Structures are given as structure tokens and as C-alpha cells.
Amino acid sequence: MSDLPLHRQLGLTDSENELIPRLIGRDPSPAELMMFSLMWSEHCSYKHSKPVLRRFPTSGERVLQGPGENAGAVDVGGGLAVALKVESHNHPSAVEPFEGAATGVGGIVRDILAVGAKPVALLNSLRFGELSSARSRHLFARAVKGIGTYGNCIGVPTVGGEIMFDDRYEDSCLVNAMCVGVVGHGDMLSCAARTPGNPLVLIGNRTGRDGIGGASILASAELGDDDADKRPSVQVGDPFTERKLIDCCLELAAEGLFVAFQDLGAAGLTSAASEMAAKGGRGLDIDLDLVPLREEGMPAPEILVSESQERMLAEVLPADVQRVREICTRWQLDATVIGHVTDTGHFVARHRGEVVADIPAAALTDDAPVYGVEPQSQALPAPIDLASVPAPEDLRAAWVSMLRRPNLGSARWVYQQYDHLVGANTIVRPGGDAAVVRLPGRHDAIAVTTDCRPRHCEVDPRAGGKATAFEAARNLACTGARPIAASDCLNFANPEKGPTAWRLVEVVEGLSLALEALGVPVVSGNVSLYNESPARAIYPTPVVGMVGRIDNAGKAVRIGFRNDGDLVLLLGDGVPRLDASEYLGRAEGRPPEPDADEEVALIDLLIRAAEAGLLESAHDVSDGGIALAVTESAITGGRGCQVTLPSGRRADEDLFGEGGARVLVSCRPSALPGLLEMAGMVNAAPIGLVTGDEVRVTVAGETLALGLDEARDAYEAAIPGALA
């Protein structure tokens, strides 16, 4: 056992430790100290990021619920709202990738459930070290398995996500999950406790010793180190119970039995109860002896902070307790009254006849000290000198090897392990720019995507933030969807270091500028900081999850070429550059700054063209440049093409350069005049046609040809090949 004072062992600073007695008017008990330490952790209190997050645009005509509840929600018409949130489970996934990633899915689903919404789509954003590392291969493969195992069993289709491998994530992998749900406007639930005297019902799994971090320090002082060692701190997911929880809670919600509703996530009961109390300006009185336990004899602090999964806490009317129990029993779930709402504003926990905690709830949730970050601005790098990048001797070979890169090749190995269809509403399946999911029982649909451009954020954080948000919006628009809401997960290194703080502030500024230009509000999100080891810090990785809307699901556009003889066009004014590109493979140079007007005009054009039925295919030009985009449209559609690329400075840059607003589309020849007219100020350049069974690309006077089979083999082998 360490000699440090208890508060230090629990991760509280000396000044935080001094603040607590002033807030509660006496010295905290060890259990209370632990509750503060968890609630005031960065994960729960956002103490380093709160001021930064205020920058995000969060309002808009469609916003029904902005940040502050378990998930945000926007109107999609017809009385229906879409709820969304992205969340990280980085650290648990690094410790135990299968369970960490699985419980990450479970947690984000319960956030959606907590606002009364039915989960209809899952996505995930993954970042690991290079697959040449055995550790990264293990983490990646197990995390994917964990996500699949959990998501498949709960019957929510996993329809999208992204994967990137880079040495910068070798020591700190990122596993972010996003869930999207639907709920009627009038059926949205809040976590705010309402009426004193109302019982609190704990629903779902029993409480065990999962994910007890700080508590084991406390408990070990009492029980001796040997026992502490036996305590698993890994949460184990139980997707079968989660499925029952979803079915059961939606049934309870449909009968209007919830007054307030909340999931138990990080810091377990402590966080759930104090948030309910603080949000509603009420108190909660909880009797820990009533909490159903998996093992006898758990000490109070452990019960208070256990992170056992698949649990929800509901405020219900006294007269409804019986009915709630009946429904839960049918679903084979425990439903136990563990306390009631009070008017004291305090979170009071009793155990074996004693009060073990009695704290003003707001002290836990709102009074954590907020630390302004101290950004230390960095000089922006100069654009790379093209002469310093060796030109490939064999362009065709370079093209094939690009297809074979795990960062560019097909993600099929991953999404084939996910049930992306369950529910029979997946109109556009994974493998394209965004997935399209029909709204239950309706003709309209939502498109969903997650995106991030970490290398760009590293070299030029503000521009990288913009590029990230615009890419997400462009991906939605490629299906014909109009972006309506975003959620984000800010994955960063240690913000107490000036350069990281600067990147955080600048990225958020860039994201905000782009989202304002797009008219897309941020309605929820999450922050994951300190993703660094002594050897490596991650790139700034602001994952953006975005939802768009399509009026008519039948008009959704896909990335694959569809008919021989169709014309291929390049839309947009972006200029490809190798700076910070996948081709370069390094965060060096300075990609062109996204132009908001061009981006918005292109997105608008795509949506209108899809609506008018002018597009046969549309595919965003992103990682790997136009060479990748054109090959993917050909492989996916099972049709070759002949295109001539606009010439710039050098053939490899023309082929593999990235950056700016560019989209590869195809259309029937008869649709061309309409499309050109609609394009207006947006550059629309016909570059070839769909034909044959090879991809023929003419670049700087040289013609390269790649058979569809050879292209597909390289593309499909990228990830399985690297894992073999």
C-alpha cells in the first residue's frame, strides 16, 4: 500500500481535497471522498474541457434536446425525434479489448435508452497501432469481436464506423461507439428527479465488483491487499440482459411508467443518483441494503461506485411500482425499490443502519473545480516540398499497394462480423460513405456516419477540425441526406500540456466553424483526455458522428457504379495535396484549408441532385485520393471505367492527393445537362465513363489499367492479409 494520503491515492489534488469540506461543511468520510474523486474525475466532470465545449454550436430549429442529458435529440418530422451520442471506451478496451469494447457498446445504448429512445443504429470509430504490432493485432481483433458479440446479441444493427491504424495509437488505442435511437417528441424522458416521495427503482443486473477502481483502494485498506488483488476491475458485458433491458424499458416507457430515467455508467450509482438529484434540484435517499448484490458482503463504497453493467434507475409513482415489477418479472429482470426522491437536495446513502454518505448532489455534479487549459500555440508547418517526396517508379504498383493498406482497403473483415441488417431497415449497407437506415414504419430515412481526420488535426488543428466536420457532412450528402445533427468524442492527449491544450481549443474552433457553416448543431458528445504514454501521444482525434435525413429512402444513392455507359464526373473545387495524406503516411506538411463556401455548395448540390434522381452513384474523395475513390466505385458496382484525371503538379499527387471538397459521381448521359445546370458555381468536370471490367485511369499522359478482379483481391486482402 502506498504512503500517499488517501485523497492522492484516489486521484484528487490537494486543493480539490481542501475544497470538499468547504462544500459539505465538514470533513468527508472515506466513502464520500471516494465519491468525490470519481465524480470529479475528468471523465465525469469535464473539468479540463468544459470551457472549451462551450464553443460548440448547440442550437437550431430541429434541436429538441441539446447537450446535458444522456443523449441529444433532434426533430425528424412527423412527431419523431432522433437521439444520438458518441462515447469513448478507450481505456477499458486497452486493458481488456473484448469486454472493454463490448461494454462500450452497452453503455452508449443505455444512454440512448435513458432518453426513452429505441436504439436503431450503432457505429464505431476505432484507432489502433499498426497491424505489424502483435499487440495491436490482438487489441483490434478482440475489440471488433467484442463490438460484434454485444451489438449482434442486442439486435441493434451496427451499420458504420471507421478504422485507422497508426503508430501513434500503439500505446493508447481508441474505441468510440455511437448509438442512434428514435423516440416520439412527447415520449422523451429526462433524468431529472421530480417529486419528493416517489420511489426509485433499480432495474436490471445485480451489482457486483465490476469496474471498481477507486473503491478497491478504500476497500483494500480495510480488507488487506490480498483481497484487493482478487477484485476484478474489468466490467463484463451481458448483452442478453441488455436486450431484455431494452425490450422491458421500452415497454415501461410506452405505458408511461417513468417519471425520470437514468442509466448507470461511470461511477455507477453515485453518478446516476447525484445527476438525477442535481438535475431536478431534488435529493435522493438510497438504502444500499436494498440493492441486489451478486456477492454478499460488498462494502458500501463498492456498492456506491460499482460499474456493473446493464442497470437503469427509474423514478416512478408509488402506485406504479407493482406494474413496473410485473413487467420486469416477465422479462426476467430484477426491479427493486432502493430509495426515494426527497426535497433536501442531498444524495444520502444508508448502509446497515448508518448514513454512509450525505452530500449536496450538486457538489458532486456541478462544483468540481474547472481548470482553464493553457494553450500554447504552435507554428503551423509549411506545405511539404514535393521534391522531398520520392515519386514512385511504378505508378500502377503504387496504386495496388495503396489498395492493400489496412487504412484504405476494405473494412469488410470488420463489418461482416457485425449484424448490420437486423430490423430490416438498412437501406444502404456498410462499405460506402454513410449507411442509410429507414425510420421504422416510414418512407423517410436517416443516414449516419462517423469521421475524423487525425493527421490533418495534428499539423493544422483548426483546419483539421473543419475538414473532419465537412467530411462527415459530405459523406451523408453522398447518399442524398441533409445533415441535421452531430455528436462528437474529443480524444486527445494530456491537456495540461500547452501544445495539446492548443490543439484541443483549435480543433473545437475548426469543428464549430464548419458546423456553423453547415447549420448542424452538436447535441451531445464525450471527451477522452490523457491518451498518451511516455513514448507517444495520440493525434488529436475529434471523432464526429453525424446524422442526416432523406425524405424518400428509395432515393438513397450508393457509391458503386451502376450502368455501363454512365458518365463519371468529379464535383467540387478541391485541390489534391499529399500533405498529411495516407499516401505520405505521416502527419507532415500542411493540407489546404477547407473552404466553407465550397464545401457547403457541394453538399447542397449533392442533396439536390439525389433528390432530383440525377445521380447513379456518389463517392466522397478522401483517404487515398481519387485513385481510391474510383477503384471503390468500380469494385462495389462490379463495373470498370475509363477516366482522365485533371493534371496538377505530379501524377502521384493527382492520383493519391487528398483535401478539399471533391466527390466522384456517375450519372446517365441523359441526366448530364440537368446535373451541369444544377451545379451552378460548383465545378462539375466530366472525366470519363463507366465501361468494361477494368479501371483505366489516365493521369499526366500515362494510362494505368487495373482489372476489377485484381483490384478487388488487393482491396479485400488489406486487413485479413495484415492479420494473417
Q: Could you list the residues that contact other proteins (CB under 8 A)?
A: 95-96, 99, 145, 148-149, 152-155, 205, 208-210, 230-232, 234, 236, 238-241, 243-244, 247, 294-295, 308-309, 330-332, 415-424, 426-427, 438, 553-554
Contact 610, 664 (CB under 8 A): no
Q: How far apart are CA 596 and CA 27, in angstroms?
A: 54
Among 10, 63, 69, 170, binds ligand ADP (CB under 6 A): 69
**Complex with Mg ion: residue 311 or 453, whichever CB lies closer:** 311
**Complex with other proteins: residue 423 or 640, whichever CB lies closer:** 423
* Three-state DSSP state, 354: strand
Amino acid at 2: S
What does 66 interact with, of other proteins, ligand ADP, Mg ion, none (CB < 5 to 8 A by kind)? Answer: none
Contact 195, 341 (CB under 8 A): yes
Binding site for Mg ion (CB under 5 A): 70, 111, 263, 265
b/e for 69-79, b at 16 or more Cβ within 10 A? bbbbbbbbeee
Q: How far is the CB of 87 from ligand ADP (least distance, A)?
A: 6
Among 57, 214, 265, 301, binds ligand ADP (CB under 6 A): 265
Q: What does the per-residue mask of binding to ligand ADP show for 71-90, with x meaning CB under 6 A?
A: --------------x-x---
* Three-state DSSP state, 653: helix
Could you say whether residue 522 binds ligand ADP (CB under 6 A)? yes
Q: How far is the CB of 112 from Mg ion (least distance, A)?
A: 9
Q: How far is the CB of 362 from ligand ADP (least distance, A)?
A: 15
CA distances from 397 to 394, 400, 537, 576 (A): 5, 5, 33, 20
* Burial environment of residue 196 by CB neighbours within 10 A (0 to 12, 13 to 18, 19 or more): middle
| Nearest to 629, CA basis, from 556, 722, 697, 693 | 697
Could you say whether residue 70 binds ligand ADP (CB under 6 A)? yes
Could you say whether residue 53 binds ligand ADP (CB under 6 A)? yes
Q: Which three cell numbers stand for residue 308?
A: 456493473
Q: How far is the CB of 487 from ligand ADP (least distance, A)?
A: 7
Q: How far is the CB of 510 from Mg ion (least distance, A)?
A: 28
What does 306 interact with, of ligand ADP, Mg ion, other proteins, none (CB < 5 to 8 A by kind)? Answer: none
Sheet holding 435-438, edge to edge: 426-428, 435-438, 445-451, 541-550, 482-491, 522-528
Amino acid at 625: G
Active site residue 420: no
Beta strands in 216-329 (DSSP E): 260-263, 283-287, 311-315
Among 103, 190, 524, 633, binds ligand ADP (CB under 6 A): 524
Q: Which of 43, 340, 346, 420 is catalytic?
A: 43
What does 417 interact with, of other proteins, ligand ADP, Mg ion, none (CB < 5 to 8 A by kind)? Answer: other proteins
Q: How far apart are CA 473 and CA 476, in angstroms?
A: 5
Q: How far apart are CA 430 and CA 408, in angstroms?
A: 15
* Interacting span for ligand ADP (CB under 6 A) from 64-72, 443-451, 455-463, 600-608: 64-72
Q: What's 420-450 look like in SS3?
A: CCCCCCEEECCCCCCEEEECCCCCCEEEEEE
Q: Which three cell numbers stand for residue 48?
A: 479540463
Residues in CB range of 622: below 8 A, 6 or more apart: 471, 628, 629, 658
Among 28, 30, 57, 67, binds ligand ADP (CB under 6 A): 67
Among 525, 548, 640, 660, binds ligand ADP (CB under 6 A): 525
Among 298, 403, 437, 527, binds ligand ADP (CB under 6 A): 527
Q: Which three cell numbers stand for residue 723?
A: 492479420
What does 239 interact with, of Mg ion, other proteins, ligand ADP, none (CB < 5 to 8 A by kind)? Answer: other proteins
What does 317 interact with, of other proteins, Mg ion, ligand ADP, none (CB < 5 to 8 A by kind)? Answer: none
Q: How far is the CB of 303 from other proteins (least distance, A)?
A: 13
Q: Which three cell numbers stand for residue 137?
A: 493485432
What does 490 interact with, of ligand ADP, other proteins, Mg ion, none (CB < 5 to 8 A by kind)? Answer: ligand ADP
Q: Which three cell numbers stand for residue 263?
A: 442509466
Could you say whether residue 328 binds ligand ADP (CB under 6 A)? no
Q: Which of 7, 48, 89, 420 is catalytic?
A: 89
Amino acid at 571: L
Q: How far is the CB of 69 from ligand ADP (least distance, A)?
A: 5
* Nearest residue to Mg ion, by Cβ distance, number only: 70
479-498: contacts with ligand ADP (CB under 6 A): 488, 490
Q: DSSP string of 386-402?
A: GGGSPPPS-HHHHHHHH
Q: How far is the CB of 385 from Mg ion (least distance, A)?
A: 49
Q: How far apart are CA 374 and CA 377, in angstroms?
A: 9
Q: How far is the CB of 264 from Mg ion (least distance, A)?
A: 8
Active site residue 185: no
Which amino acids are annotated catalytic? Answer: 43, 89
Q: Which residues bind to ligand ADP, rule: CB under 6 A? A: 44, 53, 56, 67-70, 85, 87, 111, 265, 488, 490, 522, 524-527
